[in-house]
Chain A
Amino acid sequence: EPEVTQTPSHQVTQMGQEVILRCVPISNHLYFYWYRQILGQKVEFLVSFYNNEISEKSEIFDDQFSVERPDGSNFTLKIRSTKLEDSAMYFCASREERYNEQFFGPGTRLTVL
């Protein structure tokens, strides 16, 4: 069964550094999402992406964040200047056009020191 994949599984970075989190959505899916989950808390929506542009974003997704689909398979989340409070698990998700079900990737644990 196809799955969403994410790399790296764990990223450690220094405050102020840029990070890029990578996702490969399921191949026939057209809607892509990024969520984050601070340790022990709920999953929070960051951004949705469709037809090569951002369709929705939350108040968390400020100017430090950007998303890109650089090719036909990858979907990336960039944080330009990381802050301590960016430490969290970041989940990518994707879905088909016809269905509501979102499939989540295994997540990238970002630790900002």
Chain B
Amino acid sequence: GENVEQHPSTLSVQEGDSAVIKCTYSDSASNYFPWYKQELGKRPQLIIDIRSNVGEKKDQRIAVTLNKTAKHFSLHITETQPEDSAVYFCAEKRNSGYSTLTFGKGTMLLVSP
């Protein structure tokens, strides 16, 4: 089955609203959880990440929370703007190996003005 499940697949919000995207993982050995933003036709770009020894991390309008017990982590975007519209991917890295990332299926976020 999927190592990383991501929900929702699409998310439409009004400008100024908050957006939350959730991911669950199955490998308890995972210790690093990045979020990537991918605009249409462009490369994935890291927007925030969190390590397993931290429960929450914030960077301006973006925050990520991690619940190791439940094996899920979430991306929170506040005061959304039209330029936040993109596909967002969560990913996880196992504790072993060479930082291979396993990605979720992505969430298409559409922020309407």
A residues in contact (CB < 8 Å) with B: 31, 33, 35, 41-45, 48, 50, 55-56, 91, 95, 100-107
Contact = CB atoms under 8 A, between A and B. Distances in A.
Nearest to B102: A45
Interface in B17-36: 32, 34, 36
A43 B98 CA distance: 17
A45 B45 CA distance: 16
Contacts of A48: 97-100
A31 B73 CA distance: 26
B4 to A, nearest CB: 9
Interface in B35-92: 36, 42-46, 49, 51, 89, 91
Shortest 7 CB-CB distances between A and B: which pairs?
A55-B98, A104-B43, A43-B103, A48-B98, A42-B105, A100-B32, A42-B103
Contacts of A100: 32, 34, 49, 51, 93, 99
A107 B43 CA distance: 7
Majority secondary structure of chain B interface residues (helix, strand, loop or mixed): strand
Contact of A102 (B42, B89, B99, B106): B99
A66 to B, nearest CB: 18
A14 B93 CA distance: 36
Contact of A106 (B43, B93, B103): B43
16 contacts: A31-B99, A33-B100, A41-B105, A42-B104, A43-B89, A45-B101, A45-B103, A48-B99, A50-B98, A91-B44, A95-B99, A100-B93, A101-B49, A103-B46, A104-B43, A106-B43
B42 A106 contact: yes
A58 to B, nearest CB: 8
A94 B53 CA distance: 24
